[in-house]
Amino acid sequence: MNTKFCSMERMEDKLKTFATYGDTGHGGVTRYSLSQEAIQAREEFTKRMEAIGAEITVDDMANMYATIPGSDPNAKRIVIASHVDSVKNGGNYDGILGVITAMEVLETIVVQKIPHKHPLTAMIWTNEEGSLYPPAMMSSGVICGKFDKDTILSSKSVLDRKTTFGEALVASGYAGSLSNRLNSNDYKCMLELHIEQGPILESANTDIGVVTCVLGMINYRIRTYGQADHAGTTPMKYRQDALYAAAQVLTYLHNELDKLDPDLVYTTGEIKCHPCIHTVIPDFVDFSIDSRHEDPKVLEQVLDIIKNMPKEVAKCKVDYTKAWARDTVYFDKELVAFVKASADEAGISNQYINSGAGHDAQYVSDMMPTTMIFVPSKDGHSHCEPEFTSVEQCTNGASVMLNTVLKIDAK
Amino acid sequence: MNTKFCSMERMEDKLKTFATYGDTGHGGVTRYSLSQEAIQAREEFTKRMEAIGAEITVDDMANMYATIPGSDPNAKRIVIASHVDSVKNGGNYDGILGVITAMEVLETIVVQKIPHKHPLTAMIWTNEEGSLYPPAMMSSGVICGKFDKDTILSSKSVLDRKTTFGEALVASGYAGSLSNRLNSNDYKCMLELHIEQGPILESANTDIGVVTCVLGMINYRIRTYGQADHAGTTPMKYRQDALYAAAQVLTYLHNELDKLDPDLVYTTGEIKCHPCIHTVIPDFVDFSIDSRHEDPKVLEQVLDIIKNMPKEVAKCKVDYTKAWARDTVYFDKELVAFVKASADEAGISNQYINSGAGHDAQYVSDMMPTTMIFVPSKDGHSHCEPEFTSVEQCTNGASVMLNTVLKIDAK
Please report which confidence band the pLDDT of residue B211 belongs to, taking 50, 70 and 90 as the band edges. Answer: very high
Confidence of residue A67 (pLDDT cuts 50, 70, 90): very high
Q: How many residues does chain B have?
A: 411
Residue range A354-404, pLDDT digits in tens: 999 999 999 999 999 999 999 999 999 898 899 999 999 999 999 999 999
The answer to whether B118 is a known ligand-binding residue is no
pLDDT in tens, B6-37: 999 999 999 999 999 999 999 999 999 999 99
CB-based contact (8 Å) between A376 and chain B?
Answer: no
The correct CATH number of B8-214+329-410 out of 3.30.300.30, 3.40.630.10, 3.40.50.11890, 2.115.10.20 is: 3.40.630.10
pLDDT score for B194: 98
Query: What is the pLDDT at residue A1?
Result: 64
User: Is A254 labeled as ligand-binding?
Assistant: no
**pLDDT value of residue A261:** 98
pLDDT, mean of residues A195-207: 96
In angstroms, rounded to a whole number, what is the distance separating the alpha carbons of residues A304 and A293?
A: 15
Q: What is the mean pLDDT of residues A24-45?
A: 96
B394 in the Ramachandran plot: left (φ > 0), alpha (ψ -120 to 50) or beta?
A: alpha
B83 is in an annotated binding site: yes
Q: Give me the residues paired with residue A220 across strands.
A: A289, A322
Looking at every residue in chain B, the average pLDDT score rounds to 96
Task: Please tell me the CATH code under which domain A8-215+328-410 is placed.
Answer: 3.40.630.10
- State the nearest Cα–Cα gap between B357 and chain A, in angstroms: 5
> Does A238 sit within 8 Å of B357, measured CB to CB?
no
- Using the Cβ of A171 and the Cβ atoms of chain B, whether some distance falls under 8 Å is answered with no
Q: Which chain B residues are within 8 Å of A224, Cβ to Cβ?
A: none
Instruction: Determine contact: A241 vs chain B, CB below 8 A.
Output: yes
Q: Do A279 and B271 touch (CB under 8 A)?
A: no
Instruction: Please state the three-class secondary structure of chain A as a single string.
Output: CCCCCCCHHHHHHHHHHHCCCCECCCCCECCCCCCHHHHHHHHHHHHHHHHCCCEEEEECCCCEEEEECCCCCCCCEEEEEEECCCCCCECCCCCHHHHHHHHHHHHHHHHCCCCCCCCEEEEEECCCCCCCCCCCCHHHHHHCCCCCHHHHHCCECCCCCCCEHHHHHHHHCCCCEHHHCCCCCCEEEEEEEEECCCCHHHHHCCCEEEEEEECEEEEEEEEEECCCCECCCCCHHHCCCHHHHHHHHHHHHHHHHCCCCCCCEEECCCEEEECCCCCECCCEEEEEEEEEECCHHHHHHHHHHHHCCCCEECCEEEEEEEEEEECCEECCHHHHHHHHHHHHHCCCCEEEEEECCCCHHHHHCCCCCEEEEEECCHHHCCCCCCCCCCHHHHHHHHHHHHHHHHHHHHC
**Which of A229, A316, A322 to mutate: most B Cβ within 10 Å?**
A229
Q: Is B267 on the interface with A (CB under 8 A)?
A: yes
Q: Which residue out of B263, B278, B287, B383 would a mutagenesis test of the A interface target, given it has the greatest number of A Cβ atoms within 10 Å?
A: B278
Question: A137 to chain B: which residues are within 8 Å by CB?
Answer: none
Residue A310 has pLDDT above 80, yes or no: yes
Model pLDDT for residues B138-196, shown as the tens digit of each residue: 999 999 999 999 999 999 999 999 999 999 999 999 999 999 999 999 999 999 999 99
> Is A129 part of any known ligand binding site?
yes
Judged against a pLDDT cut of 80, whether residue B1 lies above it is answered with no
- The per-residue pLDDT for A93 is 98
Q: How would residue B257 be classed by pLDDT, with cut points 50, 70 and 90?
A: very high
Q: Does B259 touch chain A (CB under 8 A)?
A: no
Please indicate if any CB of chain B lies within 8 Å of the CB of A111.
no
Mean pLDDT of B250-268: 97
Give the gap in angstroms from C-alpha A34 to the nearest C-alpha of chain B: 23
Min Cα distance B108 → chain A (Å) is 31
Q: Does A236 touch chain B (CB under 8 A)?
A: yes
Q: Is residue B298 within 8 angstroms of chain A, CB to CB?
A: no
The answer to whether the annotation marks B383 as part of a ligand binding site is yes
A228 touches chain B (CB under 8 A): yes
**pLDDT above 90: residue A11:** yes
Is the omega angle on the peptide bond into residue A135 within 30 degrees of 0, that is, cis? yes
For B230, the closest of A217, A251, A383 (CB atoms) is A383
Kindly determine whether residue B200 and residue A235, on different chains, have CB atoms separated by under 8 Å.
Answer: yes
A356 chain-B contacts, CB cut-off 8 A: 230-234
For residue B374, pLDDT beyond 70? yes
Q: Residue B215: what are its φ and ψ, rounded to 5°?
A: -60, 140
Label residue A318 by pLDDT band (50, 70, 90): very high
From A265's Cα to the closest Cα of chain B, the distance in A is 6
Contact A276 B271 (CB under 8 A): yes
Residues in chain A: 411
Identify from B230, B237, B284, B321 which residue to disrupt to test chain A contact, counting A C-beta atoms within 10 A and taking the largest count. Answer: B230
Q: B323–A196: do the CB atoms touch at under 8 Å? A: no
For residue A356, give the chain B residue with the closest CA. Answer: B232
Sequence spans of domains, chain B: 8-214+329-410, 216-326
Q: Is A283 on the interface with B (CB under 8 A)?
A: no
Q: Is A164 on the interface with B (CB under 8 A)?
A: no
**Considering the domain A220-326, what is its CATH architecture?**
2-Layer Sandwich (3.30)
Q: Which residues of A19-39 are buried (b: 16+ CB within 10 A; e: fewer)?
A: bebbeeeeebbbbbbbbebbb
Q: Which fold has domain B216-326?
A: Alpha-Beta Plaits (3.30.70)
- The pLDDT assigned to A358 comes to 93
When pLDDT is averaged across residues A238-257 and rounded to a whole number, the result is 97
CA angle B208, B210, B214 (to 5 degrees): 125
- Segment B47-65 shows an average pLDDT of 98
Q: Do B278 and A323 touch (CB under 8 A)?
A: yes
